[in-house]
Structure 1
Amino acid sequence: MKQPDFFIVGAPKCGTTFLYSHLKNHPEIFMPERKELHHFGTDIYHPDFVRDTTTYLSFFQNAENERRIGEASVWYLYSKQAAREIKAFYPSAQIIIMLRNPVDMIYSLHSQYLYNGCEDIIDFEDALRKEDLRKKGLFLPKNAYPVEGLLYRETAKYTQQIKRYFEIFDKKAIQFIIFDDIKNNPQTSLQDTFRFLGVNEDISNDTKLINPNKRAKSVFLRNLLQNPPPFLLNMSRRLIPHAIRSRMRKGMWNFNIRYESRIPMRPELRKRLQDEFKPEIKQLSDMLGRDLNYWCAH
C-alpha cells in the first residue's frame, strides 16, 4: 500500500508551501497534488479535511518508484491528537517542523484568514483583543475554519506543541526548519531537508519564496464563491457538469486575487508582542539548542 512516510506538520505561515513545492519537484519524492489533506488531528475541524482513510490514501496512489512519500498539513503541529495519530499510522515516520518568529507568524496568519474569509476583524490589534471572547464562542465568523486559528497567540506557542512530538517520536526523527534560514539561504535549507530524508541533495532549484500576501478584490465575490445561495448552487449543479463548475470556480477565485505588500505592523504593537513572547522564545531556544532570542530584538 502506498502511504506517506514523512509529514510536514506546520506551523502555518512558516514556509510550508515553499518546502512542499520543492519536495514535490524532487525526482525521488512523491507529494500529492493537494497540500493540506489534514487526515490526522481529529480534534480540529474543517469541512475540507480528508478524514476518510480510503480517500486519504487515494491521494498517494500515483506514487511510482519514488524513495519517499510525504504530505504537508499545517495544523498537525497545533493539534493535540495528530502526533499520536501519525505515530499509530506510520510508527517510523519522519517529522518536519517549520517555525517562524511568532510575532510575524500570527500577523501573517491574520492576513491569510482575512483573505480566506475566515476572519472579519480587519484590524489585527482588535482581533487580538477579541481572543478571550472568541474562546467563549463569541465574535466568530461564519466561515472560520479551523476556528483555532483565530486564537492567534495560541497558534504561536510552539514549545507546548513541540513537546507532544518529543514525547512520541525520537528526536532524531524530527527536523526543525527556521523560516529565516529559508529566507536567507534557501538552497542550503533544502539540501539539509533532502539529507534528512535520505534523497539526492544535488538538485538545483528555483528557490524564490512563494505564497505572497493576498487580498480578495471583492469580498462579495469571495463570499459568493464560498457560500453560494442554495438556489444558485442547485441550478448550477443541474445545468453545468462538475468538471466545468470546478474550473469556473477556480478561475473566478484566481481572478479575485489581489497581490499586495502587507502593511507593516505598528512598532508599538510589535514591541509589546515581542515582550509578551520573550519567555516563549527563550524556552524554545533552550529546547532546540539554538539561540532565537533575536526574534525579541526591538
Structure 2
Amino acid sequence: MTMPEFFIVGAPKCGTTAMQEYLRQHPNIFMPDMKEINHFADDLLKQDDLFLSRERYLSLFAGGGRNRLIGEASVYYLFSKNAHLNIKSFCPIAKIIVMLRNPVDVLHSRHSQLVYNGDENILDFEASLAAEEKRRKGEMIPPNIRIERKLLHREVVKFTEQVKRYLDTFGRNNVHIIIYDDFKRDTGRVYRETLRFLNIDTGFQPDFKVINPNKRIRIKALQHFLKTPPPSVRLIGKLLLPQSFRHVFVNRLEKLNTQYIARQSMSPELRTRLQEDFASEVKSLSELLRRDLTHWSRD
C-alpha cells in the first residue's frame, strides 16, 4: 500500500503551493494533484468532508508506486490541534515541512484568498479583522465555509505554539523550517535544501514558475455554484463522472472564472498596529527557531 511519508503542514500563504508544485516535478517524488486534503485535521473538518475516511484518503496516493517518496500538503495541519498527533500515529517516521512568513503579510494575503474561495464575505481586510470576536461567538459566519475557525485570523498565525507541537512530537531533525523570505530570495537553494532533508537527489532542476499569485473571481454566482453545488447536481456528478474527472473539470472552470490582479495595499497605520500586536509572537518564534526574525516587527 502506498502512503505519504512527508507532509507540508503550513502555514497558509507562505509558499506551500509553489513548493508542492516544485516537489511534484521531481521524478523521485509523488504528491497528488489535490492540496488541502486536511485528512488529519479532524478537529477542523465536518463529518461529510470527502477525505475524512482513511480509504478515500489513501486512494489519492495509488499512483505513487514503490520507488517514489510520497507526500501531501495541507496548510491547516499546522493550525489544527490534532493533526500532529494523528500524523505521528499514522506514520511515526514522517518528515514534516513547515513554511513561515511575517504574520502581518500572511493575514493580508490570506484574506484575499478567503474572499476568492468564497469563505469570506467581508471584502475589507480591516473590517474582517474587526469581526473576529463576533465570529468567535458564532456570529457573522459566511454560510458555505467548511472550516469556521479559518476566520479566527489571529489564531491562525500563532506560529510559536503551532511549530512547537511538531518539534516536540517529531523532533527537530524531522522538521524542516522554511522562511518565506529565503524561499522568495533564493528559490533554488531552498528547494535543494528541502530535497536534502527528504534524502532525495538534489540534481533535478524544476521549472520555478510563479505559483498562486493574487487573484479574484469574475462571476461570484459561478464560484458559489462550484463551491457548493445543489445536492441534485452533486449526486448526478458522483454517479456519472469519475472523481478525478470531476476534480479536473471544476479546476478548469475555476481558472476560467479567475483574474489575476495586484492585491490592494494595506494602510501604513494598520500595518504598524498589526506589527505591534504580533511583536511578542515574533520574538517567541525567533527564540524557538533560534533565528532572529524581529525585523518582521519593524519592516
Q: TM-score normalized by structure 1? A: 0.93
Structure-2 change in CA distance of 1:247 and 1:141 (3 Å): same
Separation in 2, partners of 1:229, 1:31 = 30
Deviations 1:198-237 (A, max 9, x none): 0111111222331011101111221233334456x38x93
1:195 aligns with 2:196: yes
Hey, what does 1:23 align to over in structure 2?
A: 23
Give the secondary structure class of the aligned counterpart of 2:64: coil
Aligned-residue CA RMSD (Å): 2.0
Give the distance between the partners of 2:134 and 2:258, measured in 1 at CA.
31
SS of equivalent to 1:62: helix
Q: Which range is displaced more, 155-164 or 185-194?
A: 155-164
Q: Quote the offset at 1:249 in angstroms.
A: 4.2
Residue type matched to 1:42 in 2? D
**Distance in 2 between the 1:264 and 1:27 partners?**
39
The CA distance in 2 between the partners of 1:132 and 1:262, in whole Å, is 25
- Return the offset for 1:250: 4.0
Q: Shift of the alpha carbon at 1:246? A: 6.2
1:264 aligned partner: 265
In structure 2, relative to structure 1, the CA distance for the partners of 1:66 and 1:245 (3 Å cut) is closer
Aligned equivalents of 1:203 and 1:255: distance in 2? 32
For the residue of structure 2 that corresponds to 1:164, the secondary structure is helix
Contact preservation (8 Å) 1:27, 1:66: no
Q: Deviation per CA, 1:250-279, whole angstroms, max 9, x where unpaired?
A: 443222111111011111101100111011
Matched, 1:89 2:90: yes
Secondary structure at the aligned position of 1:75 is classed as: helix
Instruction: Give the corresponding residue for 1:55.
Output: 56
* Segment of structure 1 superposing worse, 175-184 or 221-230: 221-230
**One-letter identity of the residue aligned with 2:39:** H
Return the offset for 1:67.
4.0
In structure 1, the residue matched to 2:32 is 32
Counterpart residue type for residue 200 of structure 2: V
Q: Distance in 1 between matches of 2:147 and 2:260?
A: 24
Give the conservation status (yes or no) of the 8 Å contact 1:98–1:179.
yes
Residue 157, structure 1, aligned to residue 153, structure 2: no
Size of the alignment, in residue pairs?
A: 295
Does structure 2 conserve the Cα–Cα contact (< 8 Å) formed by 1:181 and 1:189? yes
| Pairing 1:155-234 to 2, within 5 Å after superposition | 155-229=156-230, 233=233
Structure 2: gaps spanning 5 or more residues: none
Which of 148-157 and 248-257 deviates more?
248-257
Q: Contact between 1:5 and 1:69, CA under 8 Å: does it hold in 2?
A: yes
After the TM superposition, which residues 131-150 of structure 1 pair with which residues of structure 2 at under 5 Å, given as runs?
A: 131-150=132-151
Partner in structure 2 of residue 284 of structure 1: 285
Alpha-carbon contact 1:13-1:108 (below 8 Å) kept? yes
Distance 2:21 2:248 in 1: 22
* Counterpart residue identity of residue 10, structure 2: G
Q: Which residue of 2 aligns with 1:68?
A: 69
* Cα offsets for 1:35-87 (capped at 9, x unmatched): 22211011012554511111111111211243421111111000000000111
Structure 1 residue 241: Cα displacement: 3.9
Distance 1:296 1:38 in 2: 31
Tell me the CA shift for residue 3 of structure 1: 0.8
Q: Where does residue 105 of structure 1 map in the other structure?
A: 106
Q: What corresponds to 2:43 in structure 1? A: 43
Answer with 246-255 or 39-48: which moved more: 246-255
Shift of the alpha carbon at 1:2?
1.2
Question: Which amino acid in the other structure matches residue 133 of structure 1?
Answer: K
C-alpha distance in 2 between matches for 1:168 and 1:132: 31
- Equivalent residue of 2:270, what SS? helix
Q: Is the 2:38–2:45 contact (alpha carbons within 8 Å) kept by the matching residues of 1?
A: no
TM-score, structure 2 as length reference = 0.93
243-252 or 117-126, which deviates more: 243-252
Distance 1:18 1:161 in 2: 22
| Identity fraction in percent | 44
**Aligned partners of 2:108, 2:248: CA distance in 1, in Å?**
32
| Aligned residue identity for 1:291 | D
- Output the amino acid matched with 1:264: S
Note if contact 2:164-2:288 (Cα within 8 Å) is conserved in structure 1: no
